[in-house]
Structure formats: C-alpha cells, structure tokens
Chain A
Amino acid sequence: MSEAHVVLDGVTRVFARAAQEPLHALGPIDLTLKRGEFFAVVGPSGCGKSTLLDAIAGLSVVTDGVVRIDGQAVAGSVPPGVGVVFQDDASFPWLTVEDNIAFGLRRQGVDGAEVARRVADALSLMGLTDFARAYPAQLSGGMRQRVCIARTLVLQPRLILLDEPFGALDQQTRLLMGDELLNLWRKTGATILLITHALDEAAMLSDRVGVMSARPGRFLEIVETRWPRDRDSTIVSSPEFGAAASRLWTLLRAESLKAMQHQARAQTV
C-alpha cells in the first residue's frame, strides 16, 4: 500500500506572457502519492492547483522538474491509466449522455456489449439512468459534471485526478457524491487526487490533505487525517473532523488573504 505511484520532483511551471514578465504559477513541488491513497489539495484560488493537475496528467510540459507515474517520466503526453475530471464542463454537447460516457471506450475499440454494460453501470452509479438519451444542454451544471465523472470512471483508471468536480453541486449532493467517490475508491483501489476549495470536503474524504500557498503554489504543509478506510460522510459530526478542518483553515487563512490582495492589486493596475 505504501509503494509510490506518482512522484513529483521539483515540478515548476512558469507561463511566458506576451509583453509582460513571465508568470511563475507553480512550484517547485516535491510530492509522492502512494498507490491507492486518497490525496486532497486545497489552496487559495489562482494558486496553481489546475496547473499542478495539468502537469501530473501530462497535459502540459513543465518548466522544470519531472513527474513520474509508475517510475516513468511523464513528458507532455498522457500516460495510460490516468483519468481526469476537469474544472470546466467538458461534456460534449453534440453527444447524448450515454454516448458521452461511451466515448472513451468506443475510441479504445472496446466491443459493443461491454460498452453497453459499463455505460449502464456508470449511468446508475451517477444517477443518470433516466437521462441516458438527453443532451448535456438539457441538464443542470451538476448533472453535466456527473456525466464527465462517469465518462472518466468507465475507463477504469488507476490514477484519478479531479479538479473541483463538485463545485456546481449543492452541499447535500456534494456530501453524497463524496460518499460515492469513497465507495468507488475502496472498490477500485485507484489512487485519487482531488482538488477542492471546500475544506470540509478535503478533511472528510482524504487520507492526506496538501495545503498550498498563494501563487506560486507550493505545499505549505501536508495534513494527515488518519481516517479508517471504510469512512463515510457521517464523520463530519466527529470531533476529529472538526479538528482537521480547523487545522486546514488556520493554514489557509493567511494564504487566502494574500491571494485576495494579489487579485485586488491586479485589478487596480
């Protein structure tokens, strides 16, 4: 269980900008995700969380450092066995819900009966069975996000990266989706990296929570929660949960203030 799955070694990302000084968005970051662990990342907005996700998924070329998945360096291309749920709505508006979910499977040449079986499972897991033939435009933002989650899960990734996937959901649904995610995590044994702005979500779901600084994002501290593996959302009422959440907030408060001041300054220039 404690074997390394993803290793980040000095990962840094600097964006070149036209007619402006380069923007140092991230790093340097050293981090090891253990195989099968549930790791959450919290940090003020604009601190480089999505940039970190792109680097791990091989969707961008890092300025410095290296990302290794299963010991293999990720170099600007997506390694197999990685699934990503993006912050922006990525459902394809020209496909029905079921065709969206089947998209990756079909492209990989999985046979029709198997596609149908896995899509049906994913639809019922995400509560979308009644909307199988609807188009994304007919769904709410939260439901579209569930379509994207389902589209990722049917591919049975070993490493799942989620970028604020429950942002569009109300609090109750968010807690329930969190439980579903925990179930799935236990069932599949996948490694999960969850980016979130909700401290309670991070504290409730994960084994460890990485707290990031304001830009350029670095890990200030990694908080261990020590929850049992078969936890669920009922732990939000336990005193340990309160302690973990308040620890996160203490760490984040100063950074969030800094990020707000950054933004205020950016707006006045």
Chain B
Amino acid sequence: MSALEAQRPRAPSWLAGRGFDTAVFAALVLLLWQGAHLWGGEVAMTTPLGTLLFTAKTLASAEFWPHAYATLSAFLIALVIAASSGILIGAVLGFHRLSGEVAEPVLVAIYSIPKVTLYPIILLFFGIGIAAEVAFGALHGIIPVILFTMNAVRNIKPVYIKSARVMRVSGWPLFRTVLLPATLPEVFTGLRVGFSLTLIGTLLSEMFGSKRGIGFVLMQAIGLHNMDVIMSLTFLLVAFAGSVNVLLLAIDHRLHRRA
C-alpha cells in the first residue's frame, strides 16, 4: 500500500499541500478586494493595506479590548452551553428512538428558520445584556450539536456493542472504550458547525440588542459609515473564525479518515 504510494509521481510538496491552496485562495481574495476598492472608491471599500494598517491601530487601542473581551466571554459561555447541553440532549434523543423521531423534524425546522425572528422573544426573556447574547449564541449553536450527536448515537453499529458484551465489557468501560470513540467523529463535526453558528449568533445579538461587544461596535460603524472600522473588524472576525475553522476541519478530517 505504502509502496504503491511511493511509486506514484508527486507534485513538489509545497504545491501539493493544503497550504498552497490556501495561499492561492488568499491571493485571489486580496485581488478582488483591491479590485472592489478601485471600482467603488474609498467610500465603498478600503484597500487591503489600509485595512491592515487600521487593524494594527485598532489592536493597539485601549477601547478595542473591553469590547473584544465582552464578545469573547459571551461567545465562550454560549459555546460551552451549546456543546454540553447539545451533546446531552442529542445522546438522549439518539438512544431513545421514539423521542428522537418526534424531535427530529422540529429541530430541523428550528435549524432552518432565521433565528433573528426569535430575537424579540429572547430579549423579552433575558433583557438586554450578556444573558441575551449568550442565549442567542447558544440557540444558534445547539441545534447542529444535537442533530449530529443524535445521528452519531443512532448509527453506532449494534455489532460493536455485541462484540463488547462478548468480551465482557459493559457499563462505564463500554461507554468509554466503545460508545464514545464510535460517536466521536460525528459529534466533533457537530461541534465544528456549532462553533461557527454560535459565533454568528453572539455577534448578531450584539448588533441588535447590546451596548457592548464587537457586534455593537460594528453596528455603530455601519451607522456612521466608518469604512475603516467596518473593514478592520470584519477582517479580524474572518481571521479568527477562519483560523479556528481550519484547525477544527483538520481534526475533523483526521477523525473521519478512520471511520
């Protein structure tokens, strides 16, 4: 198997690697960006270099960090809630076939409606502030975690459990050595999707019902048409979400390669 692979002619490793694809993609984005600036002018779009400079200035400023901290803490709390209760609910729905079958269409429906329509209800419940941000973020993230976990549990091959029983493994060891690793790849995919959606939910919440956080600053900048701020914050968010996602995807692929 490995002998065959060694014989196959290969592109140089810098060309074959994922790094190269990423670099090409980044270059294209920069090109389009610059193009948009030339076409629309300074009002529509700042230059890549200008944005980078402004981003550096933003990172050095004292006002930026409390907002970043507010967003990050709301996001992390929301993520922990979405992940832990999502896995728990998903596992219950997966093991209990009937409730899973009842809940699935409801969950898919909630998953597909724009959650903004639920925002007034959330505000009514939690009031303006971190509680609403966390709730709105978690609401976005929890559904994919539930759905993926539920399917992971349903798809455990019965013969894995039978084999474990024949080897006299049951209870906690069965969970730890069979059920957990059998479901991990799918659950992880759910967490990866949940990460992105929780971030979106938290930011949206800050944009429409908050006096702090990156989302709030972004919304203010949009009102004032402050292109520098809009572009540099967008750039920071994309860089953050993008790099975490690349990492999570790499782990995801690794886990799925074995399954």
**Contacts A93-B259, A137-B257 given; does A107 touch B173 at CB 8 Å:** yes
Q: What is the CB-to-nearest-CB distance from B156 to chain A, in angstroms, rounded to a whole number? A: 11
Are B165 and A78 touching (Cβ within 8 A)? yes
Closest CB in chain A relative to B175 CB, distance in Å: 13
Name the residue on A nearest B184 (C-beta). Answer: A94
Cβ of B122 within 8 Å of any chain A Cβ, yes or no, is no
- Is B160 in contact with A155, judged by CB distance below 8 angstroms? no
Q: Is the CB of A104 closer than 8 A to any CB of chain B?
A: yes
A103 with B159: CB separation less than 8 A: no
Closest approach, in angstroms, between the C-beta of B245 and any C-beta of chain A?
24
| Complex interface: stretch among A63-71, A82-90, A202-210 | A82-90
Minimum CB–CB distance for B2 against chain A, Å: 10
Instruction: Please give me the residue from chain A that is nearest to B170 by CB atom.
Output: A77
A86 to B163, CA, bound (A): 8
Size category of the A interface is 20 to 34
- Asked if residues A104 and B167 are in contact (CB atoms below 8 Å), the reply is yes
Q: How far is the CB of A160 from chain B (nearest CB, A)?
A: 11
Chain A proximity mask over B177-196: 1 for CB below 8 Å, otherwise 0:
11001101000000000000
Assess whether A89 is in contact with B159, with CB atoms less than 8 Å apart: yes
Other-chain contact of B178, A80, A83, A92, A151 (Cβ < 8 Å)? A92
**How far, in whole Å, are A39 and B178 apart by their CA atoms in the complex?**
32
Q: Tell me whether B163 and A90 are in contact (CB under 8 A).
A: yes
B10 at interface, CB cutoff 8 A: no
Specify the chain B residue showing the minimal Cβ separation from A86: B159
Specify the main secondary structure of chain B where it touches its partner: helix
Assess whether A122 is interfacial by the CB under 8 Å rule. Answer: no
Query: Using a CB-CB cutoff of 8 Å, which residues 218-259 of chain B contact chain A?
Result: 257-259
B58 → chain A, closest Cβ, in Å?
44
In the complex, what residue of chain A is closest to B259 when comparing beta carbons? A93
Is A245 on the interface with B (CB-CB < 8 A)? no
**A residues within 8 A CB of B167?**
103-104, 107-108, 151, 155
Chain B interface size, as a band, is 20 to 34
Q: Is B168 an interface position by the 8 A CB rule? A: yes
- With contact pairs A86-B163, A93-B258, A107-B173 given, residues A78 and B168 touching in the complex (Cβ less than 8 Å): yes
Q: How far is the CA of A209 from the CA of B184 in the complex (A)?
A: 43
How many Å lie between the Cα of A136 and that of B259 in the bound state? 9
A84 pairs with B258, CB closer than 8 A = no
Within 8 Å of chain A (Cβ to Cβ): is B8?
no
Q: In the bound complex, do residue A103 and residue B177 qualify as a contact, i.e. CB atoms below 8 Å apart?
A: yes
Q: Which residues in A have their C-beta under 8 angstroms from that of B173?
A: 107
Per-residue 0/1 for A91-124: is the Cβ within 8 Å of any B Cβ (1 yes, 0 no)?
A: 0111100000001100110000000000000000
Q: List 22 A-B contacts (CB under 8 A).
A: A59-B162, A83-B166, A84-B162, A84-B166, A86-B159, A88-B159, A92-B160, A94-B182, A94-B258, A103-B177, A104-B168, A107-B173, A107-B177, A108-B167, A135-B258, A137-B257, A137-B258, A137-B259, A138-B1, A151-B163, A151-B167, A155-B167
Q: Show the binding face of A for B, using Cβ within 8 Å.
A: 54, 57, 59, 78, 80, 82-84, 86, 88-90, 92-95, 103-104, 107-108, 134-138, 148, 151-152, 155
4 tightest A-B CB contacts, nearest first? A104-B167, A94-B181, A88-B159, A90-B163
